[in-house]
Amino acid sequence: MTASMAERGEGKQALFATLGARFGARFSQGQSLREQHANTLTWLKREPPDAVLFAETEAEVADCVKLCAEARVPVIAFGTGTSLEGHVNAPFGGVSLDLSRMNRVLAVHEADLDCTVEPGVTRKALNDQLRGSGLFFPVDPGADASLGGMAATRASGTNAVRYGTMRDAVLGLTAVLADGSVIKTGGRARKSSAGYDLTRLLVGSEGTLGVITSLTLKLYGIPETIISAVCPFISIAGACNATIAALQLGLPLARIEFLDEVQIRACNAYSHLSLPETPTLFLEFHGTPSSAREEVEAFATIAQAEGGGELAYAEHQEERTKLWQARHDAYWAVRGLRPGAEVLATDVCVPISALADCIAATREDIDQLGLVAPIVGHVGDGNFHVMPLIDPADAEERRKAQGFLDRLVARALAAGGTCTGEHGVGQGKIAYLAAEHGPGLAMMIAIKKALDPLNILNPGKLFALP
Amino acid sequence: MTASMAERGEGKQALFATLGARFGARFSQGQSLREQHANTLTWLKREPPDAVLFAETEAEVADCVKLCAEARVPVIAFGTGTSLEGHVNAPFGGVSLDLSRMNRVLAVHEADLDCTVEPGVTRKALNDQLRGSGLFFPVDPGADASLGGMAATRASGTNAVRYGTMRDAVLGLTAVLADGSVIKTGGRARKSSAGYDLTRLLVGSEGTLGVITSLTLKLYGIPETIISAVCPFISIAGACNATIAALQLGLPLARIEFLDEVQIRACNAYSHLSLPETPTLFLEFHGTPSSAREEVEAFATIAQAEGGGELAYAEHQEERTKLWQARHDAYWAVRGLRPGAEVLATDVCVPISALADCIAATREDIDQLGLVAPIVGHVGDGNFHVMPLIDPADAEERRKAQGFLDRLVARALAAGGTCTGEHGVGQGKIAYLAAEHGPGLAMMIAIKKALDPLNILNPGKLFALP
């Protein structure tokens, strides 16, 4: 990268002229479109790209990457823009490569319980298309994110405890690398020992090693019986201990979600409910009629021993939705607590034995700071989100929130955990990777440099390269 | 690598003098020890290392790798030597780094269902040490392999259909890289999105990217009830279709193993049994008393619809062992079919819908060639092993077997499968990686070159570097 700024600027204009000629109206430098393609959901500042390109085929993705590489201009893959860590920002400018129009389900193999999709298909769109097949795709981050974006950030959600994360869900994928070459990783076999696990290397690489152009995903049969349940607890420790006991007993819980009393209060206000304002678990059981009921009973016994109140449960779809209303609306309820505020997204994940202490210490920290910050946890995985609501114009509040985040991550790392369970690093967690990975960070950077020597693919994410 | 052969020979002798001085009797150039550290289990030729070093600590592993790297001498990690693809051979000489004395279980975290072990701990030794905890480690390749070796080859076994492979079992690990640096990947959190998945990159890398020095593994609660069952079928297709139907119904089978009629005949002879000599499924169900029995009944109904005979089942340990005797002894029964012959290990894995056709075509190929070659399959994963017994001195038979292997792999790849489901590439499957991965192979080699530029770590495995 020895070109002068002027030369690079000229190269960029020439590139944009080429892309405009090649892609017509699907290439745009319009301001509002560029702003829609920057981070919009969290307190991280918006850094719009120079231009947006809507790709419709793998070949177009490859062309775009090749042309950008020649001109030394960054390429930022974009799905739905629902990332919480600034993944779609363009700190060094460049082209936002919007894949939302690559939204076809290419194949569903019912006998093999898998499907192949383009990266712009969202998780809800996939499940809509699977309707009638008796199959479903389980991974469910809060947003209706694109499956390419979910793979790129190694996303999960409420039922990872039973069905795993995107790490587990992706059997194989195709991707365009930094030099414009197209690779296919994995396949449709359920397991393989044939060389380096390129699938898992690309899943979670946040667009820094390649742009995903298709994914083969595992599917599951819709369970015969689904029972939803809600159980209030006296203490956070009680809710966490009940979770540990259920996991140790091997109860195959499909979902076990924790909401603290602040979050329940927010949900009561937002969704007009009257839940007891106390730490609460929301559960879901998948099985046959008898196995699901057996699990509910087993969990009720466990909960009682840990100070749990009465377990409310429901089997019919409509009642289940009503029972879980608070959980479904949690994110919007949080925002309702302080209109106009920005959310600081946090996402630590710890060994489950450390969860109760980690949440308790975090709650204490919040209370001392006087922050408004509900807690929602995928407690079966040891993963929880604290969501401080911050006035972006208040420097003192931002400083407080930053200190809070630093301590939260330090607490998680000290317990053997991670700074991010499912959101990814993006821009917001870069500062913590050295502490989490030590010399492993140098190994990551060595891989990045080998595969993207020009640092074209989503620069400024995951790590700050020199 | 511009040093002349003579200089390299001198460098090697100087290195061995240094290692001898540093490690005393734990470093040896004795011939019988060297031969024990070459491939011994399959038809691949033995290629002993120049020397063997027994390391006892991570620091010693790091010292060995550093010294070898300085002298440009290969390092081949060695666990129990039970690899089936020549992984422990030393085609370019070098030091076999024997890790079998690093055999301590470092920690068991019962509440978190995980443990940390040194790489030389074998899977059976781990389960022995877990006795009394109510927990077990599920991954079970046939041999009592070391856990480091199992991770390095991404091994699995009979219960991967329920509990996954080493890819899923390893939460994190420590490893010594080619430059002697020590990295720690992953952690004890159940999930993480914090950067590239170095754990999964090292699992299955066959000692070519790093030497694993410790592993953190997922554990599971021993199920309350275990039921074993055996079911004969009229045809291979019937057995495969019953498997597909059970998976589609979401039956959480713990094990579902296929033995063809040739294998059953071998087992009857070897273990003095009188099983009907027909394609047969061996099953295991894990659950509560009622859920396990419910599954047995559900499977019996499925089997009947696919031409299955009567399902024999047992719940008590002793009866279960008796019922599964044939499966347990399968490998030795095969060798008993033709004493003195060598086994060609094969390991294709295909989408389950392709399994019946793939096995049938393979059986036909065997019969046309007149080979003795039983089939055993982990059919829940679509993975099966054909084991031709070859007279190593008979060139014509070797040629036939090679042709058979080529066609078997081609058939699997055409079905979207892989040349190796669980054994790894080693030396024996190198020839197939280009066809399986296409341009992905160049990406693997780019990673190898970035992380081991001197090609010190297990050279000649996974790919033939120029």
Contact A247, A352 (CB under 8 A): yes
- pLDDT higher than 80, residue B428: yes
By Cβ distance, the residue of A181, A353, A383 closest to B112 is: A353
**pLDDT (average), residues B53-60:** 98
Q: State pLDDT tens for residues B287-313.
A: 999 999 999 999 999 999 999 999 999
CATH topology agreement for domains A225-331 and A338-435:
yes
Distinct helix (H) and strand (E) counts, chain B: 18, 19
Fold of A338-435: Alpha-Beta Plaits (3.30.70)
Average pLDDT over residues B319-334: 89
Give me the residue from A191, A420, A450 closest to B156, CB to CB: A191
Convert B173-221 into a string of H (helix), E (strand) and C (coil).
EEEEECCCCEEEEECCCCCCCCCCCHHHHHCCCCCCCEEEEEEEEECEE
Paired tokens of A414: 């000290």
Confidence of residue B52 (pLDDT cuts 50, 70, 90): very high
- Give me the mean pLDDT over the A92-96 stretch: 98
A250–B421: do the CB atoms touch at under 8 Å?
no
Which of A113, A190, A197, A353 is the best substitution to test chain B (most B C-beta atoms within 10 A)?
Answer: A190
Q: Please state the ipTM of this predicted complex.
A: 0.96
Q: Which two tokens stand for residue A151?
A: 């793979």
Asked whether the predicted pLDDT for residue A328 surpasses 90, the reply is no
The letter for the amino acid at B186 is G
Rounded CA-CA distance A223/B93 in Å is 55
CB–CB of B421 and A196 under 8 A? no
Instruction: Identify the residue whose tokens are 């490569």.
Output: A97
Reported confidence tier of residue B392, pLDDT bands at 50, 70, 90: confident
d(CA A258, CA A375): 8
Span of A4-18, B39-53, B106-120, B159-173 with lowest mean pLDDT: A4-18
Mutation for A interface: B133, B181, B196, most A CBs within 10 A: B196
Nearest CA in chain B to A416: B188
Confidence of residue A6 (pLDDT cuts 50, 70, 90): low
- A1: pLDDT confidence band, cut at 50, 70 and 90? very low
pLDDT at B4: 60
Predicted confidence (pLDDT) per residue in B206-224, tens digit? 999 999 999 999 999 999 9
For residue A41, the model assigns a pLDDT of 86
Say if A213 is an interface residue toward chain B (CB within 8 Å). Answer: no
Whole-angstrom Cα distance, residue A259 to residue A278?
8
Return the residue in B109, B154, B177, B193 with the most chain A beta carbons within 10 A, the one to mutate for interface testing. Answer: B193
What architecture is domain B105-221? 2-Layer Sandwich (3.30)
- CB atoms B204 and A184 under 8 Å: no
Q: Are B380 and B247 in contact (CB under 8 A)?
A: yes
Task: Compute the nearest-CA separation of B200 from chain A (Å).
Answer: 6
How many percent of chain B have pLDDT more than 70? Answer: 98
- Please state, in angstroms and rounded to a whole number, the distance separating the CA atoms of residues A200 and A446: 17
Partners of residue A444 in chain B, C-beta under 8 Å: 195-196, 198
Position B62 pLDDT exceeds 80? yes
Nearest Cα neighbor of B345 from B39, B81, B85 is B85
Question: Given this model, what pLDDT does residue A5 score?
Answer: 57
Among B302, B163, B313, smallest CA distance to B228 is for: B313
Taking only the tens place, the pLDDT of each residue in B165-203 is: 999 999 999 999 999 999 999 999 999 999 999 999 999
Query: Residues of chain A with pLDDT > 70: what percent?
Result: 98
Q: Which of residues 274-293 of A touch B (CB under 8 A)?
A: 287-288, 290-291
Q: Does B190 contact A382 at a Cβ distance shorter than 8 Å?
A: yes
List of chain A residues whose C-beta atoms are within 8 Å of the C-beta of residue B153:
193
Contact between residue A155 and residue A143 where contact means Cβ atoms under 8 Å apart: no
pLDDT in tens, B259-287: 999 999 999 999 999 999 999 999 999 99
The residue extents of the domains of chain A are: 5-100, 105-221, 225-331, 338-435
Is the pLDDT reported for residue A3 higher than 60?
A: no
Burial class from Cβ neighbours inside 10 Å (0-12, 13-18, 19+) for residue A224 reads: middle
A247 and B381: CB-CB below 8 Å? no
pLDDT tens-digit readout, A191-244: 999 999 999 999 999 999 999 999 999 999 999 999 999 999 999 999 999 999
Closest CA to B147 of B115, B176, B178: B115
What CATH class is the domain B225-331? alpha beta
Chain A, nearest residue to B348 by Cα: A192
CB B58 within 8 A of CB B183: no
State whether B198 and A444 contact (CB < 8 Å).
yes
Distance of CA B402 to the CA centre of its chain: 21
List CB contacts (< 8 A) between A291 and chain B: 287-288, 290-291, 294
Shortest Cα distance from B31 to chain A (angstroms)? Answer: 31
A439 and B181: CB-CB below 8 Å?
Answer: yes
The answer to whether the CB atoms of B351 and A416 lie below 8 A apart is no
Reported as a pLDDT band with limits 50, 70 and 90, residue B229 is very high
Assess whether pLDDT exceeds 70 at residue A28: yes
Mean pLDDT of chain A: 95
B438 touches chain A (CB under 8 A): yes
A2 — pLDDT class (breaks 50, 70, 90):
very low
Chain A positions in Cβ-Cβ contact with residue B422 (cut-off 8 Å): 191, 193
pLDDT of residue A465 exceeding 90, the answer is no
Q: How is residue A382 written in tokens?
A: 């040891």
Q: Each residue of B401-418: pLDDT tens digit?
A: 999 999 999 999 999 999
Distance of CA B186 to the CA centre of its chain: 22
**What is the percent of chain B where pLDDT is above 90?**
91
What does the pLDDT read at residue B9?
A: 75
Average pLDDT over residues A409-418: 98
Contacts of A418 in chain B (CB under 8 A): 187, 189, 191-194
Give the one of A291, A381, A423 whose C-beta lies nearest to B190's C-beta: A381
Task: Tell me which residue has tokens 């061996």.
Answer: B282
Structure tokens at A275: 């839940």
CATH code of domain B5-100: 3.30.43.10
Asked if the Cβ–Cβ distance from B441 to A203 is below 8 Å, we say no
Facing A462 at nearest CB: one of B195, B200, B433 = B195
CA A205 to chain B, closest CA, distance in angstroms equals 6
C-alpha dihedral, A58 to A64 to A65 to A69, nearest 10°:
160
**What is the per-residue pLDDT for B1?**
42
Q: Is the pLDDT of residue A4 over 80?
A: no
For an interface test with B, give the residue of A106, A110, A184, A193 to mutate (most B CBs within 10 A): A193
Mean pLDDT over A372-392 rounds to: 95
How does residue B5 score in pLDDT terms, banded at 50, 70 and 90?
low
Please provide residue B175's backbone torsions phi and psi, each rounded to the nearest 5 degrees.
Answer: -150, 150
**pLDDT band for position B8 (50/70/90)?**
low
Q: Is A345 on the interface with B (CB under 8 A)?
A: no
Rounded Cα gap, residues A221 and A286, in angstroms: 11
Q: How many CB atoms lie within 10 A of CB B233?
A: 23
**pLDDT score of A38:** 97
- Residue B466: is its pLDDT beyond 80? no
Q: Assess whether pLDDT exceeds 90 at residue A329.
A: no
Alpha-carbon span B443 to B451, nearest angstrom: 12
